Structure 1
């Protein structure tokens, strides 16, 4: 068991407040965060570090604007594999882990095995990416649904 798994503890109101703020404002300075949660800087920094070490904070990232980057096409593809053994699932999961144009992948229950979100600059590029996905060993069927308008996209979790 690693340190992050073993360091889980009960969150209090201040911990939850810290998580809410840094989830929305990842670049906030410690002194601004301390002001917002009504702590002095050193205890605030200690709590922040403890939340990181306990694994409550997985990563810090920047959200880029897809339209500015000319990634106008987004689609969700249901992927079905012929078998569910490691020889079939491993090549597929490795492939989607390596390509940047798959921005989300989940193993699902139901009529398909996985759902992936693919981004592209054009429908032609999207088709090319589907063709690559279709060639992955074990893939037997794909069914795509195109996004025509994004209503909500977030990685923010409901906390507390």
Structure 2
């Protein structure tokens, strides 16, 4: 595990806010030279602390305004079923996240689609690829908070 000090934390907070800022700007914000900042970022990338840098897109402006949470229960818990389920969900670009859950719910899926017809196509495609016991969906009516930033 990489030891994170206060300067690393400040770098990470700034990168979560804007990963596209220049090294000069980032260094000035955290009190380091451009090169020292770059070395720290590289060390954190090599340690796996920084997994990647991405652009965050506006789903609604790109024609995908509907967020759906799909709750899945299954009677199948064999490794081969899980492999089929994992392969199927990873291959579907509408699916943004898949989580194995504790409690009564087995899996929670977060997807982004254009509309109800888009959700139905996603649902039909998923059940063709892997048998599911019970599937229910909840549609987001209002996004109150959405962030990718970890609380550092």
Shorter-chain TM-score: what band? Answer: over 0.9
Query: What are the within-5 Å matches in structure 2 for residues 40-119 of structure 1?
Result: 40-119=33-112
Q: What whole-Å deviation, never above 9, does each CA across 1:54-96 have from its counterpart, x for those lacking one?
A: 1110011111111111112211011122211112111111111
- CA separation in 1, counterparts of 2:118 and 2:48? 37
Superposed CA RMSD in Å reads 1.2
Task: Establish whether residue 126 from structure 1 lines up as the match of residue 126 from structure 2.
Answer: no
Match of 2:11 in 1: 18
In 1, the alpha carbon distance for the partners of 2:85 and 2:76 equals 11
Matches of 1:137 and 1:123, distance apart in 2: 21
TM-score (norm 2): 0.94
After superposition, give the CA deviation of every residue in 1:88-107 in whole Å (9 maximum; x if it has no partner): 11111111101100011111
| Runs (5+) with no aligned partner, structure 2 | none
1:134–1:142: 8 Å Cα contact kept in structure 2?
Answer: no
Distance (Å, rounded) in 2 between the aligned partners of 1:138 and 1:70: 30
* Structure 1, gaps ≥5 residues long: 1-7
Which position in structure 1 is the counterpart of 2:142? 149
Equivalent pairs, count: 152
The answer to whether the 8 A contact 1:82-1:138 is kept is no
Q: Which runs of 4+ in 1 moved over 4 A?
A: none
